[in-house]
Structure 1
Amino acid sequence: MAKAKDSTTATRRKFLGGAAVAGVATIAMPQVSRAQTVTLKMQGAWGAQDILNDMAKDYVAKVNDMGGGRLKIDYLNAGAVVKPFSVMDGVHSGVLDGAHSVPAYWYGKHRAASLFGTGPAYGFNGSQCLGWFWYGGGMDLYNELVQKTLKLDVVGFLAFAMPTQPLGWFKKELKGPDDFKGLKYRTVGLSTNMFQKMGASVAQLPGPEILPAMERGVIEAFEFNNPTSDMRFGAQDVAKFYYMGSYHQASEAFEIVFNKKKYESLPKEQQAMLKYAAQAAAADNEWKAWDSYSKDLQELIKKGVNVKRTMKSIFEAQLKAWDEVEKELVADTTNGPFIKKVLDSQKAWAKRVGYYFFNNDADYKTAWEHHFGALKT
């Protein structure tokens, strides 16, 4: 019996000893990431006071919070290292590790770039366009364009389904599409081609240059993005007619890009943070937009701005102009085949998603008018 007792005691001591060692091991080797510490330098394409710049910082904050000190982005405002329209070149060359912009800002490299946000209107909105990018084959086409066709050392994601962008700011009331003939108008991307087909004289300018150009008479009218951005840089001081709704940029999204070598050198978990933070920011940015854009549109009205709905005749003229632009793009012997591939993918997505959406979507306008009265346009 004594031996049994000694054996039991020894066994207990052995077990407790092992547990103690395991406990020490648990304390000494906590289950935390052992990823390397990395700081990425990212520049935006937005003015310091622009809400789009705030949204870029929201993305950065999400990455930094998830990075836990092991992954950090240092964010720089537009122009800190390169000009707003040159951030893609900055990332490709490695001067920047990342950038926050839109594809239309570098469409001079290949017109297909503009199809990822400022292409022909096929009936899908910004959120549905983002769905095409993430689930409808858009990301593969984007990578083919950026990495294979243009040989850019870049990896990127689209984020934030922008609400339809207004037709813009005008010094006098519009009567119809003929008012664009000879009008000196600011826009970007393939939207420039569409407005040129409508007879406008188009200038492509980054946001911070718009107001000075209006004051000098370089342009007579312009679109930028949304009521908050427009109000913050003082659009209401140079024009009083603000037209809502347009097909020129009906489904744009942010573009978040990183130097490919830098991105692929990161541990997989950090690559995932950069990618999934783009998805998280897409949702967060959209919610912020609905809040801010709606409030600031009311503020613009209080400041004496005449807010009007773009008339149907202009929408129809835009669609006809897009038809012409599309034919010319596809006919281009050099870039046309790839452009057609992107357009065909978007059309297939728009047809399928639109059939579901337009058949199923509630008539929200009727509900709104039921509660608040006829909508004034």
Structure 2
Amino acid sequence: MEKSDKAAHTRRSFLKIGATAGGVAAGTLAAPAVLAQSPIVMKMQTSWPASDIWMEFARQYTERVQAMSGGRLTVDLLPAGSVVGAFQVLDACHDGVIDAAHSVPAYWYGKHKAASLFGTGPVFGGSATTMLSWFYSGGGAEFYRELQQDILSLNVVGFMGFPMFAQPFGWFKGEVATVDDINGFKYRTVGLAADLMQAMGMSVAQLPGGEIVPAMERGVIDAFEFNNPSSDIRFGAQDVAKHYYLASYHQASECFEFIFNRDFYDDLDPDLQAIVRYAVEAASTANTASAMDNYSADLVKLRDEHKVNLHRTPQEILDAQIKAWDDLIVELEKDAFMKKVLDSQRAWVERVTYFELMAAPDYKLAYNHHFPDKLKL
């Protein structure tokens, strides 16, 4: 049955029929009008364990949806594994097993490596904020729709929110200073970062967040990254490694992905569609504020209470990452769609980041003036 043929059977049609029937019944049996006003329940699963701070970030989204809809749309928010695994939420949305998902595109890059360009692709000099702006104002949203709906024929619609801070290179049991020091390491990452690290001599395991520390304890991996100090401290990263390397080019421009089953989304009334969409932008601001608060506090806690050694990623490794990206881009651009996306991103970053860098003062200079000897870089 074609999508247009299903129109008579949509959720909206059902609700309208129910409302009409309720009206008839009210005239004869005085049935309570509230029966025609039952809220729509959106089942949303995340890719995060129940204890992860990102469940709280997802809840900031669901709270805004429920408040802005006046209770007409409620959200049943579920952690990873409640219905499907962390990496299976896209397929579950496509199949209608769940109505929505809170995840990241890197988790489905196995379907098409271009997925990683919408979060964990090459770093041309822009931040996650630069790339989120590209998504909404530089043509990225249409490329994303083309990949999901035209190339992969997925019955989903999605939006991006919360520009993440550049992710740490990760957790190591000992200090690393050169590319030779990490050669042969078994390392956890996801998306195109896996290709990048393999090019730098590592072997890579792509694991959901909840499986990382157990894998480290069993020796399945030697080192790992996930995303941020708050998630890492809740995982217990500090119990399996004591050297934490911040500032890396492997995943420096990622955002959350909010995915919806297309039939579910299309069946919503226009005002509810707008709420579902624009609540992403509202939650993005709330997520950023929460991340700044929690990530900074937890980084200090890791340093002072758990005696974790904090490092900036060594320059030799950063240089090697950029060179590895250069080589990887050549391979990625053999795919016509990926070349089109990368050309668009390069043009955006060249113009936008030129402005960003020209406009930005030296914040480090001012910080060191007011807090001398605090930042030892």
Please say if residues 177 and 317 of structure 2, whose CA atoms lie closer than 8 Å, have aligned partners that are also in contact.
no
Aligned residue among 200, 211, 225 for 2:227: 225
Distance in 2 of aligned mates of 1:207 and 1:265: 33
* Match of residue 319 from structure 1: 322
Q: Which residue of 1 aligns with 2:187?
A: 185
Number of equivalenced pairs = 340
Once the two structures are TM-superposed, the CA of residue 90 in structure 1 deviates from its matched residue by: 0.2
The equivalent of 1:196 in structure 2 is 198
Q: Which residue of 1 aligns with 2:125?
A: 123
How far does residue 37 in structure 1 lie from its aligned partner after superposition? 3.3
Query: For the Cα contact (< 8 Å) 2:148–2:154, is it kept in 1?
Result: yes
What's the CA shift for 1:36?
Answer: 7.5
Counterpart contact for 2:126–2:349, Cα < 8 Å = yes
* Counterpart in the other structure of 2:32: none
* Cα distance in structure 2, aligned partners of 1:66 and 1:113: 31
Counterpart of 2:361, as a letter, is: A
Q: CA deviation at 1:67?
A: 1.5
Deviation at residue 354 of structure 1 after TM alignment: 1.0
CA distance in 2, matches of 1:337, 1:36: 47
Cα shift readout 1:127-175 (whole Å, capped 9, x = no counterpart): 1111111111000000000011000000000010000100000000012
- Secondary structure, counterpart of 1:199 in structure 2: coil
1:79-123, CA deviations, whole angstroms, 9 ceiling, x for partnerless residues?
A: 000000000000000000000000000010000000000000111
The residue that corresponds to 1:345 in the other structure is: 344
- Unaligned stretches of 5+ in structure 1? 1-33
Q: CA-to-partner distance for each residue in 1:226-279, whole Å, 9 max, x for gaps? A: 000000110000000000100000010000010001101110000000110000
How many angstroms apart in 1 are the aligned matches of 2:364 and 2:350?
A: 23
User: Are 1:328 and 2:317 an aligned pair?
Assistant: no
Instruction: Render the CA deviation track for 1:323-374: whole Å, top value 9, x for unaligned.
Output: 111111112xxxx000001101110110001110111101100000011114
SS at match of 1:291: helix
Aligned 1:352-367 pairs, distance under 5 A: 352-367=351-366
| Pairwise CA RMSD | 1.1
- Map of 1:14 onto structure 2: none
Distance 1:262 1:98 in 2: 9
TM-score of the two chains, using structure 1 as the length reference: 0.89
Is residue 280 of structure 1 aligned with residue 282 of structure 2?
Answer: yes
Q: Distance in 2 between matches of 1:194 and 1:71?
A: 42
Instruction: State percent identity of aligned pairs.
Output: 55
Q: Deviations over 1:200-251 (max 9, x none)?
A: 0100000000011000000000000000000011000000000010000001
Among 245, 259, 273, which residue is 2:247 paired with?
245
Alpha-carbon distance between aligned partners in 2 of 1:357 and 1:144, rounded to the nearest angstrom = 29
Picking from 61, 64, 69, the partner of 2:66 is 64
Alignment partners' CA distance in 2, 1:145 and 1:322: 22
Amino acid at match of 1:355: Y
User: Normalising to structure 2: TM-score of the pair?
Assistant: 0.89
Q: Which amino acid aligns with 1:307?
A: L
Q: Which residue number corresponds to residue 14 of structure 2?
A: none
**Structure 2 residue matching 1:376: 3-state secondary structure:** coil
**Structure 1 counterpart of 2:25:** none
> What SS does the corresponding residue of 1:158 show, helix, strand or coil?
strand
- Report if aligned partners of 1:159, 1:281 keep a CA contact under 8 Å in 2: yes
Q: What amino acid is aligned across from residue 115 of structure 2 in structure 1? A: A
Structure of larger gyration radius: 1
Whole-angstrom distance in 1 between the partners of 2:314 and 2:358: 24
Structure 2 counterpart of 1:83: 85
Q: Out of 89, 101, 104, which is 2:103 matched to?
A: 101
2-structure distance, mates of 1:322, 1:219? 23
Indicate the residue corresponding to 2:24 in structure 1: none
Paired residue type of 1:319:
I
How far apart are residue 68 of structure 1 and its match? 1.0
Residue 31 (structure 1) aligns with: none
Pairwise CA distance, 1:57: 1.0
The answer to whether the 8 Å contact 2:177/2:316 transfers is no
Q: Distance in 2 between matches of 1:312 and 1:281?
A: 35
Partner of 2:215: 213
2:104 alignment partner AA: V
Query: d(CA) in 2 for partners of 1:290 and 1:129?
Result: 19
Gaps of 5+ in 2: 1-35
Shift of 1:72: 1.1
Matches within 5 A, 1:107-186: 107-186=109-188
Matched, 1:53 2:52: no
Q: Distance between the aligned counterparts of 1:348 and 1:35, measured in 2?
A: 49
Counterpart secondary structure, 2:333: helix
Q: d(CA) in 2 for partners of 1:178 and 1:284?
A: 41
Between the aligned partners of 1:372 and 1:89, the Cα distance in structure 2 is: 49
Residues 1:257 and 2:256 aligned together: no
Task: Report if aligned partners of 1:92, 1:259 keep a CA contact under 8 Å in 2.
Answer: yes
CA distance in 2, matches of 1:287, 1:352: 27
